[in-house]
Amino acid sequence: MAAPASPAVEESETKDTPLPYAGIRVVEFTHMVMGPTCGLLLGDLGAEVIKVEPLEGDGTRRLLGSGAGFFPTFNRNKKSIALDLKTPEGVEAALRLIATADIVSENFKPGTMKKLGLDYETLRKRQPRLIYVSHKGFLPGPYEHRTALDEVVQMMGGLAYMTGRSGDPLRAGTSVNDIMGGMFGAIGAMAALRQRERTGLGTEVQSALFENNVFLVGQHMMQFAATGQAAAPMPSRISAWAVYDVFTVKDGEQIFLAAVSDKQWAIFCQAFGLDELLADPHLKSNNDRVRARDWMMPMLRSRLAGRSAAELSALFEARELPFAPIVRPEELFADPHLNATGGLAPIRMNDGSQSKVPLMPFTLGGQRPGIRLQPPLLGEHSRDLLRELGYGEEAIAALQAGVGRKP
């Protein structure tokens, strides 16, 4: 399903108060999702983020299938410079650029930046105030040599086990570790900037997929610590709440309905004329109802099966009970709340067409941080940046020869 048409794409102006990281320059050597997410967050908050790309461009510009939207999603509010880091001239240009930066961010394989002479230990000698963010699969330790993917750490970190049915591990339906790992990298960079204000010195920040995944499943680890019983996969878990399920209703539609307190249970029963259940002493408390789910839930499913999802939504919303229609991602483009609150902004896609993209899920002074720069074309800002670094036109032409070549 194609995304709906959007207004003409324009760069938005920063309004009133400057964004919190305006004046901070970030140079990123990143690709895919994790590293670009870090730059995305800092860029949305006002930093000048310069994306260093190979001459053929970030590979996510060309991905198909589930990766087709990666580049426009994670690379707004950035500038692009194309450099061949396999040449001494390209590395020298990168070093000149880094010399102007507050933050360097990278997510290459361990050892790659060191081979280029662009690792933290080398750069800190030149720039003691530099903050250096590394995004890796694992923090330093026995696993650090392994090649990691979001799916790899979900499998080895308990998340796939918790998401799938028993005996059928299933990765989460989005790049949760890549995205959150990049967010934690940005949080680390923010902390390092604050620390630099006090000490005058930069530092290295490390963020990792595996450790991020373990943080996500920590609640299940602690459930075991508290109860001595292993957490069951989510589809077969013993829910903490009695009514907290997806119901199949009229015409095969599905809707999530919940009643998570005694008060909500009373409202729920009154709304559907279930006075006999409200009066049943075996269903008095939430824990009583959890213990009675084996016979209570089939009864509730039967009583609600003839009602439409729209009718149930209206009843639950009017009574301030938790509910949710089962929505597909492509349907969110038309979501009335997102569109009314400015949660989606015009974005330029890889092929030049226009769509809409979700903004950061928070406000500053009542406004969502917006899009100042559209996802850059490959090398869109190379000439301006190289001139700023002191390169003449002939040297710029030599550095940019071959930009856009196919890998």
pLDDT at 234: 85
pLDDT at 2: 45
132 in the same domain as 56: yes
Strand-by-strand arrangement of the 131-136 sheet: 78-82, 48-53, 25-29, 103-106, 131-136, 204-208
195 in the same domain as 113: yes
pLDDT at 385: 98
72 in the same domain as 94: yes
343 in the same domain as 205: yes
Residues 6+ apart with CB under 8 A from 191: 205
Residue 393 within any structural domain of the chain: yes
Q: What global pTM score does this model have? A: 0.90
Domain boundary among 296, 330, 364: 330
Whole domain around residue 208: which residue ranges?
25-218+338-400
Domain boundary among 330, 355, 388: 330
Strand partners, 78: 49
pLDDT at 239: 75
Residue 227 within any structural domain of the chain: no
The 10s digit of each residue's pLDDT in 283-302 is: 999 999 999 999 999 999 99
Q: Which long-range contacts (CB under 8 A, 24 or more apart) does 243-247 make?
A: 243/268, 243/289, 243/297, 243/300, 245/297, 246/326, 247/300, 247/301, 247/304, 247/305, 247/312
| Cβ atoms of residues 356 and 347 within 8 Å | yes
Count other C-beta atoms under 10 Å from residue 59's C-beta: 15
Residue 258 within any structural domain of the chain: yes
314 in the same domain as 209: no
213 in the same domain as 354: yes
> Which CATH number belongs to the domain containing residue 40 in this structure?
3.40.50.10540
DSSP summary character for residue 137: S
Q: Which residues of the chain, if any, have pLDDT below 70?
A: 1-16, 238, 407
pLDDT at 138: 97
Residue 62 within any structural domain of the chain: yes
pLDDT at 402: 87
161 in the same domain as 145: yes
Computed over its alpha carbons, how large is the radius of gyration of the chain? 26
346 in the same domain as 321: no
Residue found under tokens 């509010």? 77
| Cβ atoms of residues 157 and 149 within 8 Å | no
260 in the same domain as 276: yes
